[in-house]
Structure 1
Amino acid sequence: MGIRGTAILMAAAAMLPVTAQAADLRAKAPVAAAEPQLCKEVTEVNPDIFGFSSGTDVATPGSLALGLEYGGAFGTRSGSLTGSEGKVQLSFGFVPCIELGPSISFGMEHATTAFSPEDAKSEAIGGAIEAKFKLLGRAQAGVGMTLVFEPGWGRVRDRNHIFDDGGNLYRDSNSHDETSLASKILFDTVLIPDRLFLALNFVHEAAWVDVTPSEEESTFITSAALTLQASENFFIGVEGSYRHAYAGAWFDEAQGDAWFVGPTFLWSISENVALSGALAVQVAGSEKSSEDYLGMGDINLADFNQYEAKLKLGISF
């Protein structure tokens, strides 16, 4: 074979263990932790396509999103009522299947009474943190399921202007704190891939008002939304909800109820920016005063507004 051939064979034999070891190292290289299969989705569905209702998808670990939201409420039994709220929320994926979303909100309300010379205004500022826990994914179970808890706190300032019979103006102003907790169970599913989507929400909203004497109130909401993907970047749908008001925080004393229905939309302006909105119109309801329901029409304007609107700009990073 000769000296040169023997040297080549010896060099090749010396390299074999190194090459095999390198292959083993590559095979045993650490793999990034995968998202748990129970909540992992093959196809994402923007949770904002359902209007006031919400889908079950949560942010993936490390992702970040900003939401700028406007909410409006209009209509009362007599006189006029206009309420507006602005909300800024930053949401991020904490760990797989969990999303956290701290927020701050600003609100104002102006009400006048047709049969009383009273003009009432209120202003509020507050904050909350929303925690979402996704338990089931559509990819595995066919239906997505997410639990949501959102504790909050707000400072409210009330101002009343009252004119007496002589035309004299009296002003009354006071401030108080309000603590709230929203608890939600969210479901959604894809009826027709890339075409038709359905969401079902169960929501309990409780509030504790720090006045003398202290007050507690709550609302239980059941809502369903059907959304059609009309084009690649545009969704349109319809949403209906049933709402029941309570005097206590935990279903203590039932008050009035109401049915709402209205349109929804979402426009994907770009890959990372989306504009969504919804309008809810009260179509039926009943009021309760003390122990007797009042025959004041076919809708409930004592516990709920006649119209509610929502507009949200979502930006992901």
Structure 2
Amino acid sequence: MSVRARILGFVCIAALLPAGARAEGIDTEHLFAFMIGSDVGNVGEKEFQSQATARFSKAAGNYRAMAQEFELEFVPVRNVRIEVGSTFASHDIAGVPGFADRFQFGFQGILLDLRYRFLDRETGPFGLILAAETHADRLDETTAAPVRKYGTEVTLAVDRELIPDVSVAAVNLIYQPEWTRFSGAGQTEREATIGAAMAVMAQIRPGFFLGGEARYLRKYDGIGLDDFEGHALFIGPTVFVKLSDRSRLTANWSFQAWGRPAGSTAALDLLNFERHQARLVLGVNF
């Protein structure tokens, strides 16, 4: 079964779940798929999370990449959240220009995500958080080539309820520098991605949110944004379902609505990005 079919199935099942007795306050910690919210959870809270991210379709050939993360999250003190995890990756690449054909599954790498909330949405005009997710990989997430890769995704997130306990909007600003050394080649590449994202989610029924995310990304050669390589705009629907008091599900399917590689007149940037990106996140408190 494809990732798209799974997401549609989960959404249909969630829509049929019985509603709770009353609407609850909005918690944005896990409300979004490709974005983050300003909430960090309660002190002492622990969670296990499974996050599957799929990326499909290049300009030509067959391209499918899947990253499966397993993560543990905990809140040691107020306003601080720590997450550690590992990633496994599968790739099915054939006939894509500039890519070696690969069909493989393997351990990709480890990650550490640190978040600090500067402003609490309940006591301030909006929520504000700074997150830094650092990863070390042995497989390149795009080409599946063996590498030594290090990177950090720094995100500044702001969110605010539009209608109390009903709808919320969020904005993310992203900077992601990466250093990649290809095995056996003695070659090191430095690149960076910057971007801005916006989302709006509404509580359709208690524990069931529906909305969408839009992400604009720009790719550069060099961590100092030296040479522009291309940009893309992704948009797509997001659904969040509170499955029980201890479990939740978030799903998103985004498509590239517009983009362009540097020096090209193409309508999409399928050189630096994919045509479709999807994410499915399942979390359990314990």
The one-letter code of the counterpart of 2:277 is E
Structure 2 Cα separation of the partners of residues 263 and 137 of structure 1: 26
- Aligned counterpart, 1:202: 173
Structure 2 length-normalised TM: 0.85
- State the shift of 1:214 in Å: 0.6
- State the shift of 1:151 in Å: 1.3
Structure 1 Cα separation of the partners of residues 99 and 225 of structure 2: 35
Task: Report if aligned partners of 2:29, 2:41 keep a CA contact under 8 Å in 1.
Answer: no
Does the residue aligned with 2:138 lie in a helix, a strand or coil? Answer: strand
Structure 2 Cα separation of the partners of residues 73 and 114 of structure 1: 14
Mapped pair 1:308 → 2:277: yes
Task: Report if aligned partners of 1:87, 1:104 keep a CA contact under 8 Å in 2.
Answer: yes
> Identity of paired residues, percent?
22
Structure 1 length-normalised TM: 0.77
Structure 2 Cα separation of the partners of residues 46 and 174 of structure 1: 36
- Computing the radius of gyration from Cα coordinates, the structure with the larger value is 1
The one-letter code of the counterpart of 1:274 is R
Mapped pair 1:144 → 2:113: no
Cα 1:262–1:111, aligned 2, differ >3 Å: closer, same or farther?
Answer: same
Structure 1 Cα separation of the partners of residues 274 and 219 of structure 2: 12
Structure 1 Cα separation of the partners of residues 98 and 170 of structure 2: 43
**Residue 294 of structure 1 is aligned with which of 244, 264, 284?**
264
CA RMSD of aligned residues (A): 2.2
Task: Report if aligned partners of 2:33, 2:281 keep a CA contact under 8 Å in 1.
Answer: no
Mapped pair 1:98 → 2:68: no
Does the residue aligned with 2:44 lie in a helix, a strand or coil? Answer: coil
- Aligned counterpart, 2:149: 178
Cα 1:174–1:152, aligned 2, differ >3 Å: closer, same or farther?
Answer: closer
Cα 1:187–1:115, aligned 2, differ >3 Å: closer, same or farther?
Answer: closer
Task: Report if aligned partners of 1:124, 1:157 keep a CA contact under 8 Å in 2.
Answer: no
Task: Report if aligned partners of 1:50, 1:199 keep a CA contact under 8 Å in 2.
Answer: no
The one-letter code of the counterpart of 1:228 is A
1:159-180 Cα distance to aligned partner (Å, 9 max, x none)? x9xxxxxxxxxxxx97321111
Task: Report if aligned partners of 1:50, 1:237 keep a CA contact under 8 Å in 2.
Answer: no
Cα 1:103–1:117, aligned 2, differ >3 Å: closer, same or farther?
Answer: closer
The one-letter code of the counterpart of 2:120 is G
Does the residue aligned with 2:123 lie in a helix, a strand or coil? Answer: helix
Aligned length: 258
Structure 2 Cα separation of the partners of residues 198 and 152 of structure 1: 28
Task: Report if aligned partners of 2:59, 2:96 keep a CA contact under 8 Å in 1.
Answer: no
Structure 2 Cα separation of the partners of residues 273 and 82 of structure 1: 29
**Residue 108 of structure 1 is aligned with which of 90, 98, 104?**
90
- Aligned counterpart, 1:77: 59
Relative to total residues, which structure has the larger helix share, 1 or 2? 1
**Residue 137 of structure 2 is aligned with which of 145, 154, 159?**
154
Structure 1 Cα separation of the partners of residues 37 and 99 of structure 2: 45
Does the residue aligned with 1:140 lie in a helix, a strand or coil? Answer: coil
Structure 1 Cα separation of the partners of residues 152 and 122 of structure 2: 31
Range that drifts further, 201-210 or 127-136: 201-210
Higher RCO, 1 vs 2 (CA within 8 Å, ≥6 residues apart): 2
The one-letter code of the counterpart of 1:191 is L
Structure 2 Cα separation of the partners of residues 265 and 281 of structure 1: 16
Range that drifts further, 241-250 or 47-56: 47-56
Task: Report if aligned partners of 1:225, 1:239 keep a CA contact under 8 Å in 2.
Answer: yes
Structure 1 Cα separation of the partners of residues 37 and 155 of structure 2: 11
Structure 1 Cα separation of the partners of residues 97 and 42 of structure 2: 54
- State the shift of 1:157 in Å: 7.5
Structure 2 Cα separation of the partners of residues 240 and 271 of structure 1: 29
Structure 2 Cα separation of the partners of residues 220 and 116 of structure 1: 23
- Aligned counterpart, 2:12: none
Task: Report if aligned partners of 1:50, 1:226 keep a CA contact under 8 Å in 2.
Answer: no
- Aligned counterpart, 2:6: none
